[in-house]
Amino acid sequence: MSKPEDSSRHMLRHAVATLAYRGGKALRGAPEAFAAFQASATTRTPLAILGHLGDLLEWAVSQAQGAEQWRPVAPAGWEAGVDRFFRGIEAFDAHLASSEPLRTSAEKLFQGPVADALTHVGQLSLLRRLAGAPVRGENYAVADIAVGRVGPEQADPRREFE
């Protein structure tokens, strides 16, 4: 039987894999103009949200390593932002998969950067719909999400909605 902290760490890795799956779906195939789309004068663009996602993941790594830093980085473009998003997820998951101790609790990592990142992925999906390039919904309970699969290459959807 695993220790409770192993269980928490495994669950956190599953949440990170879920973020990669859902994030990949929201980012893949976005039209070129989507990065600059604004639903209103007071909403962030998808590019700004994508930059914030990169910031959140780098913050998560810094927290996990015990050297917490918040360093927002101006987005350099859509593809660069997508690359940064996946590099951040991969770095975070690599630390979680290692034997290095977490310097903050799995619960704090989930409630802060991971939950915030999931919220922003949802915003990107909503903005895709408003921009006329919707992401198909799916039954995520049956999605093929696997701990450790955190790169841009994800499993095909099992059951998307019409």
Residue type at 160 in one-letter notation: E
On whether residue 49 sits in a domain, the answer given is yes
- The whole domain housing 44 covers 4-142
Per the structure, the count of domains in the chain is 1
79: domain CATH number?
A: 1.20.120.450
Calculate the dihedral angle through the C-alpha atoms of 24, 30, 35, 41, rounding to the nearest 10 degrees. -100
Structural contact between residues 85 and 57, judged by C-beta atoms closer than 8 angstroms: yes
Q: In this model, does residue 9 exceed pLDDT 60?
A: yes
Extended beta strands in 19-113, E state? none
On whether residue 162 sits in a domain, the answer given is no
Q: In this model, does residue 3 exceed pLDDT 70?
A: no
User: pLDDT, tens digit, for every residue of 31-89?
Assistant: 999 999 999 999 999 999 999 999 999 999 999 999 999 999 998 999 999 999 999 99
Q: Read off the pTM.
A: 0.94
pLDDT of amino acid 2: 42
On whether residue 42 sits in a domain, the answer given is yes
